[in-house]
Amino acid sequence: MNRAIMLLATTALLLPTATSAAEPISPAARKTSTMLQQLNGALSQLAERVSPAVVQIQVSGYGLSSDDDDRDRAGYFVRQRAVGSGVIVDPAGYILTNAHVVRGAQRIVVLLPAAGQGLRQESPRRHLYPARLVGVHRDSDLAVLKIDASGLPFLPLRSGTVVRQGELVVAVGSPVGLASTVTMGVVSSAARQLDPDDPMVFIQTDAPVNPGNSGGPLVNTDGEVVGINTFILSGSGGSEGLGFAIPAPVARFVYQGLRKRGFVSRVEVGISAQGINPELVAGLGLPRDWGVIVSDVAPAGPADRGGMRVGDLIESVNGRPIATVPDLIASLYQANDALLEIRVLRGGRPKDLSVRAVQVEHPLDEMVDMVDPDKNLVRRLGVLALDVDDKVQSLKPLRRPNGVIVVARTLDGSSVDSGLLEGDAIHGLNRVEVESVEQLRKAIDACKPGEPVVLQIEREGHFRYLFFDMD
């Protein structure tokens, strides 16, 4: 007998004997099958509805080193090409993404999904668009881009869109550059605060999220954006079921501010505050085990002038109850007037204070956006710098209004460990005054290996010398 025939015959003997009539499907099995088919169809329709509004963002320029914590506000800059994600939130071409996706970008290009029916484009084959950066809000890690297109599919940001623990969600983006990738999971936590003293609260999900998903939407089964995927916790660098997204209400608030003004308005009162924990309760004899305690008051600052003291427990701001540090930060963002009515508990008794807050400014953030890496890189010092002119002086007043100011550091094998920090103003090199980035670059390039270099700098209003030997 042919070997193949023998194999088939043997296999047939091992199979269960077929009955003359198929066994009837039980009502429970039929119901389960119907439910699975409905779920399958609903998820497929959800992906078809959501995916056209999710774009891939291609960035070239300077950005944070992957060796650094993505959430480090003072990381090293390296020349790089990166891919992230974004979501179209307005048919006129406004796109929301993460600030870290576009940080240090010299060129931003948006790739629209290939299946872009109904888009009014200059050419039906044109899916790549140069993007303009409308604004960046680094505290929330959000940014808004604009492309010249209209009639785009979009996913609106609704203020009332919230999630519940256990709810099904879908993440859409470009993990490792794979555009329009859809993954599914559940909301592991609807409000995860990773650090009691960090004001940011995230949606935690086990939907697989990987590098490249940053800036893409997290949507619910109704196709509503519930969050903007921003980072993962991972020991391997890939998804381990610990993804985090910025909640939609926060994203909407930041988007509106960036689109309208190019920045997000917030006031500051000049305090440091911490969430109350059992150790603070036991050590300080606090009257309750929850809330926010004032740990520092800036001398002569708004809170100091308003009568606030270290150890005060903040009860409310403008009538808004304060139970956590995020509540306090939210109240400062939502303040409509600089005069804040703050109620505190002091010695167990309530005390009402009037504090005139001041507008927060982030001069280095604005200066980063002014940098042209081709003109402002001083490679041997490993920094990006700007000439000190009237605009720079208005953003960061200096005792000596000349020289150059360090906007960011770079990781470059040819640079020396100069000790320079962001915000340092360089006024002199050895015995020569520094007047421009071009002059500084020529002077440092002229230094020979092993030659001593002394920089005169201004740091936080104080002059000092930095010295090192050229490599």
- Shared domain for 412 and 345, answered yes or no, is no
Q: Which helix (H) or strand (E) segment is 384 a member of?
A: strand 383-387
CA–CA separation, 166 and 188 (whole Å): 6
Domain region containing 427:
363-469
**In a domain? residue 24:** no
**In a domain? residue 321:** yes
Q: State residue 293's pLDDT score.
A: 94
**In a domain? residue 151:** no
Higher pLDDT, 139 or 115: 139
- Shared domain for 372 and 419, answered yes or no, is yes
**In a domain? residue 330:** yes
- Shared domain for 327 and 272, answered yes or no, is yes
Query: Is residue 100 annotated as part of the catalytic site, yes or no?
Result: yes
Q: State residue 16's pLDDT score.
A: 47
- State phi, psi for 425 to the nearest 5 degrees: -105, 130
**In a domain? residue 447:** yes
**In a domain? residue 36:** no
Catalytic residue among 90, 141, 327, 387: 141
Mean pLDDT of the chain: 83
Query: How many Å separate Cα 368 from the centre of its chain?
Result: 16
Maximum mean pLDDT: which of 99-103, 138-142, 436-440:
436-440
Which tens digits make up the pLDDT trace of 447-471? 988 888 999 999 878 898 988 888 7
Q: Which of 209, 232, 261 is the last residue of a domain?
A: 261
Count of structural domains within the chain: 4
Q: What is the CATH number of the domain that holds 107?
A: 2.40.10.10
- Shared domain for 139 and 68, answered yes or no, is yes
Catalytic residue among 214, 331, 415, 418: 214
Which tens digits make up the pLDDT trace of 240-279? 889 999 999 889 989 998 888 777 777 889 998 988 989 8
Query: Is residue 141 annotated as part of the catalytic site, yes or no?
Result: yes
Label each residue of 67-103 as H, E or C: CCCCCCCCCCEEEEEEEEEEEEEECCCEEEECHHHHC
Q: pLDDT band at residue 203, thresholds of 50, 70 and 90? A: very high
Q: State residue 361's pLDDT score.
A: 64
Q: State residue 69's pLDDT score.
A: 47
**In a domain? residue 288:** yes
pLDDT at 281 over 70: yes
Query: Is residue 214 annotated as part of the catalytic site, yes or no?
Result: yes
pLDDT cut 70: percent of the chain above it? 84
Q: Which of 331, 359, 387 is the last residue of a domain?
A: 359
Q: What is the CATH number of the domain that holds 331?
A: 2.30.42.10
Q: State residue 358's pLDDT score.
A: 85
Which tens digits make up the pLDDT trace of 71-123? 444 445 555 678 999 999 999 999 999 998 987 676 889 999 975 444 444 44
Q: What is the mean pLDDT of residues 21-25?
A: 63
- Shared domain for 295 and 224, answered yes or no, is no
Angle at 36 between CA 34 and CA 38, to 5 degrees: 70
Give the position of tokens 């606090």.
Answer: 286
pLDDT at 12 over 60: no
Question: Which segments within 115-193 are labelled E, that is strand?
Answer: 128-130, 132-137, 142-146, 168-173, 181-192
pTM value is 0.65
Q: State residue 84's pLDDT score.
A: 94
Q: Which of 244, 261, 278 is the last residue of a domain?
A: 261
Which tens digits make up the pLDDT trace of 314-357? 999 999 999 988 888 888 877 767 899 999 999 989 999 999 98
* Helices (runs of H) and strands (runs of E) counted in the chain: 11, 28
Least confident of 194-198, 280-284, 309-313, 449-453: 194-198
Q: Alpha-carbon Rg of the chain, whole angstroms?
A: 28
**In a domain? residue 40:** no
Catalytic residue among 85, 90, 100, 188: 100
pLDDT cut 90: percent of the chain above it? 43
- Shared domain for 317 and 329, answered yes or no, is yes
Q: pLDDT band at residue 414, thresholds of 50, 70 and 90? A: low
pLDDT at 228 over 60: yes
**Which of 366, 389, 369, 386 has its CA nearest to residue 377?**
386
